[in-house]
């Protein structure tokens, strides 16, 4: 298959080369012609000559001479290459339509001296401009007879040679879109290999404590690029290493790209790794330092290194000199850590493209070249010879750190990082257990193995006595949090006390600012009701005077027909009238005299000579007032929605086509009534969602409080959810939660379809769904990684921890609530549920009782004026995991058996915070706290008061209604309290307890007979007073119809003693 040549790119680039030459800047100025000769040398990887060929033709052409003259171009190559080059040659001489000189192709003869062809080229060189000075790439020296004979021929003619490497490199440095796409791909492959292979391999080595040589690890990285899974879908034949990976650790560091990995074993300290991958001849580069158990000083130095790289990215803009970029970074070092000036790398990077390192475009203190949009640089900054004060062994005492990325220079703003590999301390630090701890554990295990069985049991008992249980640890931590909570809350409320809330006065709507604005309509003169739509005013005759009332003052209107008359009744807003919840009842002048209502009457009978009935005016007025009122209320509602909306910055659109983008997403809440698909695109400072209809919704990065990515594992949709700091308006409503999702499975299933376990169609459909889920998850993850890289990780997406999730009903239906690192969320159901953990004061669990299957969770916020959040119907099985999670988040929690009236509690606290904290603050929620029974929900408190706190009167009535004497049982109950309490301690069995109960019965037999007659005389009303078998008011719980004694006496299981009968 014949190789194809991109003619468009060839002409475009050749015009650029000639354009730069004709301008005559720098070395171009004194050059009459340009000669590029390429021989054969397997050892030469990067050369300016071969780079120029690749740039123009897309391929390297060995044993080829190219002569660029002012008015003609000559190529001399083998027969096959000439055939290839014919694609850009022209039939007749003269300048072509493409604006470049015509090409002459000369065929190189293998065995002959090629003298005739050389002479033609020499003639062309002499005829070009002055014909004396030729531009060459002086560093490129190729071996072989063909090259030798050509160089001899040039020397004989006495041409003066000028090195034009630097100026040609500058011409080629600004990349076109096609080149940038190849470099992005190369950078993506480098990132994949580092993240998925190298980093994972290093963690395995550290984890298993393996001994691996640097050189062996470097070889394994080179082999990894042969595996498709690390190539991000690229063709393996087009992928190669720019240089062998450089891995260094253990005190021996050389922060250059010309070194090779040594044969020393990898040391678990600071491990630097540099690797670059080339895709279709275009290079990329990545440098990272992995740190195993880094001390604080090492972490500080690393954080400073990241700061320097950020500073460098900010400086790299179109038009900036390379020396100025270097100077800006050095200024930061001088100001903040001058002691590191001697440790920093000598240069901070270089331009990259077809050649890995462009020597003339290095970022150092002397380079005067200016950056251009489209240039790609490998920026590398590092510190060497740093001292680790905590190091004991020689290899631990010295360390270096080195970071580098492939970046693209833009017109405005900081350079774009193409190698999006996370580099914060948490991403590159590997934190292990202390060796001392491990040794202690090992010693314990050995001791147990040496000891016999009995001594091991004794050891175990000793251990359990001394060690705290998880519950005890939790309680201890919660006690600390309780004290801390009350202190902080008191301080916060004291500070807020000075800030008084200003109540907003109701807007006064003035109809006309002066009488001249009153309309001069005949209706007004005729004393009829007139509606001025422009000023939204109803003009009514009051005592023969036309009086304007703004539509906002009218509460409602009604019309009725009674006999021969029509009545129009108009009710007005006034102090004391029941305003709607949203209207607010604050008037500008509440002391003024208000009209409450006006009724008009008109006849339904037509007067002789009149065309219409008088009542028609009232009917028209009624209709028009309703219309104007509706329009006014709609506008007010919209303005109310907009109230408090914080004005957002404008979205800065990135015109680059390679923005991170997700297509075919739905938005919630919907923009219109029907849901619509659209695409979500990340720009410079925010996201833009564009629907298929053209609607746009902009979400700025700085307005996002929580960005949550909900994968589709176990869900029917995959979601990107944004919980915003300030609400945004779209669809005429304000929204704080916006999410973008796509469906991954069948939301509905056809039950009529015959289902079979081994049905091929079903199996295929399942397989397709699995693949679809995987594909979507990958697409969303790639989008998130690109966005995080674009925002320099200022915007981080949180993924909910499904294993910590629990079911609950924050709204009407039950859903799975899942914690993230900073919130508790549910994104799959609508409306979504998001609670920021930093805003939470404490969590209270209600209705926690052993016989109930569910409990409720109340979230109290630090802002006490905010309504508490309730999550109902959480299964009891989730209680312990939730406590464990809250404890790990340093959140205080309490629990109780009752449902509390939280509106009343919060009002009490806000009204008198000082009094609240003087009485112990939140300790009233603790089970042993004094105020645990306070402020209970009305319905439950009434029931519990009746059950647990009987009045004496009710108790007496109840007592008389029973068949047995309960005064004796009361004594027995007290007796039981004492005896059972002691017996529990001494460990008596049930037979002994029964015997004692019988004895007690016999002693009280006479009293029973005496009371028996009296107990039938009076009957108690049902449902009042203490339970007949609970005279002391001890809390009773019913289990299968039988009361269980809880509280002071221990739980009474087994057969009841005589004298006590259960219904």
Residue 682 · residue 786 · CB < 8 Å: yes
What average pLDDT does range 68-93 have in this prediction?
83
Cβ–Cβ < 8 Å for 779, 662: yes
Instruction: For residues 110-139, give the mean pLDDT.
Output: 86
Average pLDDT over residues 819-827: 94
Q: Is the pLDDT of residue 1014 over 60?
A: no
Please give the pLDDT value at position 315: 92
* The pLDDT value given to residue 393: 84
Q: What is the pLDDT of residue 646?
A: 76
Peptide bond into 345 cis (omega under 30): no
* Average pLDDT for the chain: 81
pLDDT, one tens digit per residue, over 528-539 is 899 998 889 999
Dump pLDDT digits (tens) for 440-455.
555 545 444 444 444 4
Angle (deg, nearest 10), helices 296-315 and 322-336: 150
Please compute the mean of the pLDDT values over residues 12-30 and round it to a whole number.
86
pLDDT for residue 831: 93
| pLDDT at site 647 | 80
Task: Express as a percent the part of the chain with pLDDT over 70.
Answer: 80
Predicted TM-score (pTM) above 0.85: no
% residues pLDDT > 90 (the chain): 45
Q: What pLDDT does residue 443 have?
A: 53
pLDDT digits 0-9 by tens, 142-198 = 888 888 888 888 888 888 899 999 999 999 999 999 999 999 999 999 999 999 999
Which of 147-156, 809-818, 1024-1033 has maximum average pLDDT?
809-818
31, 47, 36: which is closest to 147 by C-alpha? 36
Largest CA-CA distance found in the chain, in angstroms, rounded: 146
pLDDT score, position 1018: 42
DSSP class of residue 853?
A: S
Residue 975 pLDDT grade (very low, low, confident, very high; cuts 50, 70, 90)? very low
Segment 855-868 mean pLDDT: 94
- Tell me the pLDDT band of 1005, cut-offs 50, 70 and 90: low
Name residues whose C-beta falls within 8 Å of residue 398's C-beta, 6 or more positions apart in sequence. 251, 253, 385, 386, 387, 388, 391
Strands ordered across the beta sheet of 545-550: 530-532, 537-542, 545-550
pLDDT for the residue numbered 756? 58
- For range 839-862, the mean pLDDT: 94
Q: What is the structure's pLDDT at 23?
A: 85
Q: Which residues contact 892 (CB under 8 A, 6 or more apart)?
A: 478, 481, 482, 485, 841, 842, 843, 922
| The pLDDT of residue 497 | 62
Region class of 584: left (phi > 0), else alpha (psi between -120 and 50), else beta: left
Range with the poorest average pLDDT among 403-407, 554-558, 668-672, 953-957: 953-957
Closest-CA residue to 799 (of 785, 820, 779, 780): 820
> What is the spatial distance between Cα 1018 and Cα 962, in angstroms, rounded to a whole number?
10
Q: What angle do CA 727, 730, 735 make, to 5 degrees?
A: 30
SS3 readout for 592-645: CCCCCEEEEEEECCCCCCCCCCCHHHHHHHHHHHHHHHHHHHHHHHHHHHHCCC
Instruction: Choose the most confident range, by mean pLDDT, from 105-114, 405-414, 970-979, 1016-1025.
Output: 405-414
- Helix, strand, coil tally for the chain in percent (to 5): 40, 25, 40
Please indicate whether residue 877 or residue 454 has the higher confidence score (pLDDT).
877
Of 167, 245, 154, give the one whose Cα is nearest residue 201. Answer: 245
Res. 128: pLDDT tops 50: yes
Q: Please check the confidence at residue 584 and state whether its pLDDT lies above 50.
A: no
Q: What is the pLDDT of residue 971?
A: 40
**Highest mean pLDDT, choosing among 226-230, 366-370, 389-393, 454-458:** 366-370
Neighbouring C-alpha atoms within 13 Å toward the C-beta of 399:
29
Helix (H, G, I), strand (E, B) or coil at 1034: coil
Residue 340 has pLDDT above 50, yes or no: yes
pLDDT at residue number 503: 47
Of 106 and 1003, the one with more pLDDT: 106
Question: 892 — phi, psi (to 5°)?
Answer: -75, 135
Residue 378 · residue 385 · CB < 8 Å: no
Q: How many Cα atoms occupy the beta-carbon half-sphere of 845 within 13 Å?
A: 21
pLDDT in tens, 697-751: 999 999 999 999 999 988 899 999 999 999 998 888 889 999 999 998 765 556 6
CA-nearest of 538, 733, 515, 496 to 627 is 538
């Amino acid at each position: 298959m014949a190789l194809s040549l991109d003619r468009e790119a060839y002409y475009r680039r050749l015009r650029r080369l000639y354009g730069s030459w004709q301008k005559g800047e720098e070395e171009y100025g004194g050059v009459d012609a340009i000669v590029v000769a390429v021989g054969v040398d397997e050892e030469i990887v990067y050369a300016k000559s071969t780079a120029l060929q690749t740039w123009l033709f897309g391929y390297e052409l060995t044993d080829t001479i190219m002569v660029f003259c002012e008015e003609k171009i000559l190529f001399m190559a083998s027969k096959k290459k000439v055939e290839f080059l014919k694609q850009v040659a022209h039939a007749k001489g003269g300048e072509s339509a493409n604006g470049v000189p015509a090409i002459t192709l000369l065929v190189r003869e293998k065995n002959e001296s090629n003298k005739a062809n050389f002479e033609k080229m020499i003639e062309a060189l002499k005829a070009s401009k002055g014909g004396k000075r030729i531009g060459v790439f002086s560093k490129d020296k190729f071996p072989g007879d063909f090259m030798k004979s050509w160089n001899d021929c040039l020397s004989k003619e006495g041409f003066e040679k000028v090195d034009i490497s630097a100026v040609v490199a500058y011409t080629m440095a600004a990349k076109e879109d096609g080149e940038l796409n190849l470099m992005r791909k190369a950078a993506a492959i480098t990132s994949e290999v580092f993240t998925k292979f190298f980093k994972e391999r290093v963690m395995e080595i550290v984890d298993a404590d393996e001994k691996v040589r640097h050189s062996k690890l470097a070889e394994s990285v080179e082999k990894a690029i042969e595996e498709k899974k690390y190539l991000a879908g690229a063709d393996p034949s087009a992928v190669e290493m720019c240089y062998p990976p450089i891995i260094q650790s253990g005190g021996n560091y050389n922060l250059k790209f010309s070194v090779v990995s040594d044969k020393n074993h990898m040391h678990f300290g600071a491990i630097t790794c540099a690797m670059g991958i080339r895709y279709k001849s275009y290079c990329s580069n990545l440098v990272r330092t992995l740190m195993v158990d880094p001390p604080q000083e090492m972490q500080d130095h690393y954080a400073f290194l990241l700061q320097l790289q950020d500073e460098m990215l900010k400086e790299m803009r179109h038009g900036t000199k390379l020396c100025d970029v270097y100077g800006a970074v050095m200024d930061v070092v001088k100001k903040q850590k001058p002691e590191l000036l001697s440790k920093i790398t000598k240069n901070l990077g270089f331009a990259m493209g077809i050649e890995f390192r462009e020597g003339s475009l290095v970022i150092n203190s002397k380079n005067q070249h200016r950056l251009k949009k489209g240039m790609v640089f490998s920026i590398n900054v590092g510190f060497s010879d740093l001292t680790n004060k905590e190091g004991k062994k020689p290899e631990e005492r010295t360390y270096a750190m080195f970071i580098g990325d492939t970046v693209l220079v833009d017109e405005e703003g900081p350079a774009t990082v193409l190698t999006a590999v996370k580099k914060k301390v948490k991403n590159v630090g590997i934190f292990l257990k202390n060796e001392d701890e491990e040794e202690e554990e090992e010693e314990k295990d050995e001791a147990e193995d040496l000891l016999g069985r009995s001594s091991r049991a004794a050891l175990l008992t000793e251990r359990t006595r001394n060690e705290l249980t998880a519950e005890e640890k939790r309680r201890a931590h919660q006690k600390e949090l309780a004290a801390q909570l009350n202190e902080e809350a008191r301080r916060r409320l004291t500070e807020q006390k000075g800030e008084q809330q200003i109540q907003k006065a109701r807007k006064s709507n003035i109809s006309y600012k002066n009488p001249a604005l009153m309309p001069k309509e005949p209706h007004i003169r005729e004393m009829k009701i007139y509606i001025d739509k422009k000023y939204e005013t109803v003009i009514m005759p009051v005592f023969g005077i036309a009086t304007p009332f703004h539509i906002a003052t009218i509460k409602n209107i009604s019309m009725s027909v009674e006999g021969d008359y029509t009545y129009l009744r108009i009710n007005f807003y006034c102090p004391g009238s029941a305003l709607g919840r949203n209207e607010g009842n604050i008037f500008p002048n509440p002391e003024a005299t208000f009209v409450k209502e006006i009724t008009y009457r008109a006849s339904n009978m037509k007067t002789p000579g009149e065309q219409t009935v008088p009542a028609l005016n009232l009917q028209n007025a009624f209709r028009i007032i309703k219309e104007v009122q509706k329009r006014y209320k709609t506008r007010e509602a919209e303005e109310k929605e907009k109230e408090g909306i914080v004005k957002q910055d404008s979205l800065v659109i990135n015109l680059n086509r390679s923005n991170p983008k997700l297509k075919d997403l739905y938005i919630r809440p919907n923009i219109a009534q029907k849901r619509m698909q659209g695409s979500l695109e990340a720009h410079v400072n925010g996201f833009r969602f564009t629907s298929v209809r053209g609607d746009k919704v902009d979400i700025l990065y700085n307005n996002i409080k929580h960005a949550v990515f909900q994968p589709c594992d176990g869900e029917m949709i995959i979601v990107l959810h944004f919980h915003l700091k300030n609400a945004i308006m779209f669809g005429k409503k304000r929204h704080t939660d916006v999410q973008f999702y796509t469906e991954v499975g069948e939301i509905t299933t056809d039950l009529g379809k015959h289902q079979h376990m081994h049905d091929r169609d079903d199996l295929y459909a399942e397989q397709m769904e699995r693949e679809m889920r995987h594909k979507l998850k990958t697409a969303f993850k790639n989008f998130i990684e690109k966005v995080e890289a674009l925002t320099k990780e200022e915007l981080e997406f949180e993924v909910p921890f499904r294993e910590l999730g629990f079911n609950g009903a924050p709204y009407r239906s039950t859903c799975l609530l899942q914690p993230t690192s900073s919130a508790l969320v549910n994104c799959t159901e609508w409306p979504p549920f998001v609670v920021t953990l930093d805003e939470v004061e404490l969590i209270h669990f209600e209705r926690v009782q052993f016989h109930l299957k569910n409990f409720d969770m109340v979230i109290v916020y630090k802002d006490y004026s905010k309504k508490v959040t309730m999550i109902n119907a959480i299964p009891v099985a989730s209680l312990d995991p939730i406590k464990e999670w809250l404890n790990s988040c340093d959140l205080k929690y309490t629990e109780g058996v009752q449902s509390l009236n939280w509106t009343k509690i919060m009002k009490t606290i806000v009204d008198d915070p000082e009094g609240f904290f003087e009485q112990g603050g939140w300790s009233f929620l603790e089970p042993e706290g004094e105020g645990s029974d306070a402020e209970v929900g009305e319905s439950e408190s009434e029931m519990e008061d009746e059950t647990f706190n009987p009045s004496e009167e009710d108790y007496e009535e109840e007592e008389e209604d029973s068949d047995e004497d309960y005064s004796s049982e009361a004594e027995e109950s007290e007796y039981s309290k004492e005896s059972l309490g002691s017996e529990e301690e001494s460990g008596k069995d049930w037979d002994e307890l029964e015997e004692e109960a019988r004895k007690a019965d016999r002693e009280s037999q006479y009293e029973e007979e005496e009371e028996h007659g009296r107990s039938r005389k009076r009957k108690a009303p049902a449902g009042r007073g203490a339970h007949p078998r609970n005279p002391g008011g001890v809390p009773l719980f019913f289990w299968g119809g039988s009361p269980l004694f809880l509280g002071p006496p221990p739980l009474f299981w087994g057969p009841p003693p005589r004298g006590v009968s259960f219904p």
